[in-house]
Amino acid sequence: MKQLLLVGSPNSGKSLLFNELTGLNQRVANFPGITVNTFAGVSKADPNMDVVDYPGVYSLRHISGEEEVAVKAFYSALEKDQEEIAAVVCVLDATRLEKGLFLALQVLENCARVGFPVILAANMIDILERHKLSVDIKGLSRELGVPVIGVSARTGKGVDEINRLISGRINPPKSETGNLIATDGGLLRARAEHLASTFGPQGDMLLVSHSRADSLLLHPVLGGLSFVTIMYLLFQSIFSWAAPLMDAVETGILWLAEKVVPIFPAGWLHDFVADAIFGGLGAFLVFVPQIFILTFVVGLLEDSGYLARAAVICHRPLRMFGLTGKSFVPMLSGVACAIPGIYAARTIESKRRRWLTYLAIPLMPCSARLPVYGLLIAAFVPADYILGGYIGLQGLAMFAIYLFGIIAGLLVAALMSSVGPKQMEDTPFVLEMPPYRLPGLKTLSIHAWSRGGDFIKRAGPVIFWVSLVIWSLGYFPNFGENLGTSYLGRIGQWLEPVFSPIGLDWKYGVAIIVSFLAREVFVGTLGTLYGIEGSEENIVSLADRVTSSGITPASGLALVAFFMLASQCISTLATLRRETGSWKMPAQMFVGYGLMAYAAAWIIYTLTSRLL
Amino acid sequence: MTAAAPLHITSDLWHMKKGQKGIILGYTDNLAPAIQERLAELGYRPEALVQCTVTPRLGAPKFYRTANSIYSLERDVAEHIKVEIQLG
């Protein structure tokens, strides 16, 4: 199978072009460095060709871990046979041609050396046209001796032309000055500047409106206020916007359960379907709309160009905790899921600040915690509104939980910054500011939908098997007659001394133990356990069962604190092991955060049970 | 007869005011060669025209434009880029 290699500088629109060429849904965002791994997909135009998307780099001389991955992968692709490579497409941002040409010249020289054909895709040509500007495509093509295509990855313009060229024969580029230009930075810069000034757009592309938006969003007072408001709306939306969807999913599941469960004759299969499938798996599915909304809103911020400004706003405050403004995006990604957050931390060139960011990310309130928080909030916080109905108490509680989670992450980073290793390499903060863009709602919706689907696919099977095991242990040997004397009841009672100091009975203890596989399993496990216990009752929401289980608000708070701090995600630890190259950090994190979580839960339970 | 005021002053990027333009003269020796190289690749190279576009308060990184790109540079790097600021 042939390969089409897609390279380009960060934020050149490479991933959007990849999506156009393959029909796939690779994550795109208006923030430099979103693609941190190579991705491959089959070309829409040629099923026998793979399109490979490389992370964006400014130069083939890497200075960060993120760039190293891309540069090494590109050089190893250059070692392939000529027959294997259909072409190398180098994507340039036509509005900032000089920056893209610097990389393009390096790519051209390297491809000339190995005889690979190259196409230059001058992307965002639609933006130039909107401002009545243009690139001299023919002149640039003639000068460099390679095809240059004006492309708009957003509208699909020029994509057919790329496919048409690839299906024919393209001559590889000729070396301009031997290998000199690829190795001499000065010559390369001079050449890129000359080409950009001769063939690039002759006008001012940085719009006045951008400066106006920056004046507001980076204003000393209004900027900070806008930031807090935007972040508050983000968390409020998780409850307010998701509530109708969650109600609809819950109603749907209950309706389905009432139709399906009676089909099975009374017996263990009937009880299994009611308790494990609808009680366990169903309880978890109710929270998927919140993950959809969270991903959508985070995507909205990424696509608009605001996140880069937010990184600037956060830089100084984050420096107080030993982090950098560049830690902001990995940490915010960690709010959706720690795994992309850990990958995104590659954009931090400073090894020391990357290490501190790794420490903070697992403490960010990720979406896997959302079902747990959602359940506990629904059980303990009334669904009332205050201040004229504008602020929901449940949304406010979620905001507070998220805020405390973030503060915990910052404090751990600050502590480790002061006591941790000092000899790690450090590099200063330099961040490209992308132009503001109107977010593509269709792309965002597709991404949020696929993220929700991924969440179900990843967690669903785990929850199913855990529910099956938990249900079997809880149902037998007395066929659901008495949960306390079941196998699970005996195991739980053996574990109870560990959890009784924080006011939790053995059922919560079992749910916590299994949640070390994945946090969201907690909700499914409780759903299964209460399903067995209350099998004679009508199916009611899990939150109602938690409320009537006798658990105190102090224990509820202790549970929140435990889930806020414990490192309970095997996938996150495995990702961290891959990124750091050893199990040392994940193992230390698992033990350290586990002990810290238990201690915090005990302290909170002890204090609040005296106060409440 | 009084001497005419100079039309430019030598300073560093960090001390440029919002809207001021200047020509980059070079870097101080305190800036690591790899960082100098990357800055040059991004367009912050000797003889390049640069403009300070946004100066957030409280020590936040400032925005500097070169060609059609804007980057945010923190003090630790901006004060090591020498610049001839154009006045008037």
Inspect the interface and report whether the beta carbons of B42 and A215 lie closer than 8 Å. Answer: no
- How is residue B70 annotated by DSSP? E
Amino acid at A162: I
β-strands B69-73, B49-54 pairing: unpaired
Q: Tens of pLDDT along B53-88? A: 888 877 889 999 987 788 999 998 999 999 999 876
Using pLDDT thresholds of 50, 70 and 90, give the confidence band for residue A300. confident
Using pLDDT thresholds of 50, 70 and 90, give the confidence band for residue A88. very high
Please check whether residue B4 touches A, CB under 8 A: no
The position carrying tokens 């154009």 is B86
3-state SS string over A38-88?
CEEEECCCCCCEEEEECCCCCCCCCCCHHHHHHHHHHHHHCCCCHHHEEEE
A-B Cβ pairs (cutoff 8 Å, strict):
103
- Say which of A95, A201, A312 has its CB closest to residue B72: A312
A539, A557 Cβ separation under 8 angstroms: no
- Say which of A205, A214, A325 has its CB closest to residue B54: A214
List, edge to edge, every strand of the sheet that includes A2-8. A39-42, A49-53, A2-8, A85-93, A118-123, A148-150
Q: Does pLDDT of A595 surpass 90?
A: yes
Q: Tens of pLDDT along A555-581? A: 999 999 999 999 877 778 887 887 787
Chain A contact set for B41 (CB, 8 A): 58-59, 61, 102, 185, 189
Question: What's the Cα-to-Cα distance from A537 to each of A272, A480, A541, B25, rounded to whole Å?
Answer: 15, 13, 12, 80
Q: What is the mean pLDDT of chain A?
A: 83
A338 compared with A319, residue with greater pLDDT? A319
Q: Does pLDDT of A516 surpass 60?
A: yes
Chain B contact set for A58 (CB, 8 A): 38, 41-42
Q: How many CB atoms lie within 10 A of CB A538?
A: 8
Please check whether residue B46 touches A, CB under 8 A: no
- Say which of A185, A214, A431 has its CB closest to residue B41: A185
Token duo for residue A571: 């996938």
Q: Tens of pLDDT along A456-507? A: 777 678 778 877 887 888 888 888 777 778 888 888 888 889 989 999 888 8
Please check whether residue A352 touches B, CB under 8 A: no
Using pLDDT thresholds of 50, 70 and 90, give the confidence band for residue A537. very low
Inspect the interface and report whether the beta carbons of A428 and B53 lie closer than 8 Å. Answer: no
Distance from CA of B40 to the nearest CA of A (A): 8
Q: Does pLDDT of B52 surpass 60?
A: yes
Interface with B, mutate which of A67, A194, A350, A433 (most B CBs under 10 A) = A433
Q: Does pLDDT of B7 surpass 80?
A: no
DSSP string, A114-158: HT--EEEEEE-HHHHHHTT----HHHHHHHHTS-EEE-BTTTTBT
Instruction: Note the pLDDT of residue A549.
Output: 78
Please check whether residue B35 touches A, CB under 8 A: yes
Instruction: Note the pLDDT of residue A36.
Output: 55
Instruction: Give the contacts of A220 (CB within 8 A, at least 6 positions apart).
Output: B56, B57, B58
The position carrying tokens 């199913």 is A464
Inspect the interface and report whether the beta carbons of B63 and A433 lie closer than 8 Å. Answer: yes
Alpha helices of A366-439 — where are they, by DSSP H? 370-380, 393-419
- Say which of A102, A223, A430 has its CB closest to residue B77: A430
**Percent of chain A residues topping a pLDDT of 70:** 90
A132, A126 Cβ separation under 8 angstroms: no
Please check whether residue A220 touches B, CB under 8 A: yes
Q: What is the mean pLDDT of chain B?
A: 87
Token duo for residue A296: 């959508």
Interface with A, mutate which of B13, B31, B38 (most A CBs under 10 A) = B38
Instruction: Note the pLDDT of residue A538.
Output: 43
Using pLDDT thresholds of 50, 70 and 90, give the confidence band for residue A596. very high
Please check whether residue B68 touches A, CB under 8 A: yes
**Percent of chain A residues topping a pLDDT of 90:** 23
Angle between helices A222-240 and A306-319 (to 10 degrees): 110
Q: Tens of pLDDT along A14-49? A: 888 988 898 876 655 555 555 556 778 889 889 899
Over range A248-259, report the average pLDDT. Answer: 89
Q: Which residue of B has its CA nearest to A203?
A: B68
Instruction: Note the pLDDT of residue A239.
Output: 61
Q: How many CB atoms lie within 10 A of CB A495?
A: 15
Over range A152-161, report the average pLDDT. Answer: 90
Chain A contact set for B39 (CB, 8 A): 430
Interface with A, mutate which of B13, B36, B68, B79 (most A CBs under 10 A) = B68
A216, A238 Cβ separation under 8 angstroms: no
Inspect the interface and report whether the beta carbons of A206 and B70 lie closer than 8 Å. Answer: yes
Q: Tens of pLDDT along A190-233? A: 888 899 989 988 766 655 557 778 888 888 788 888 888 887 78
DSSP string, A200-245: S--S--S-HHHHHHHHHHT-TTHHHHHHHHHHHHHHHHHHHTHHHH
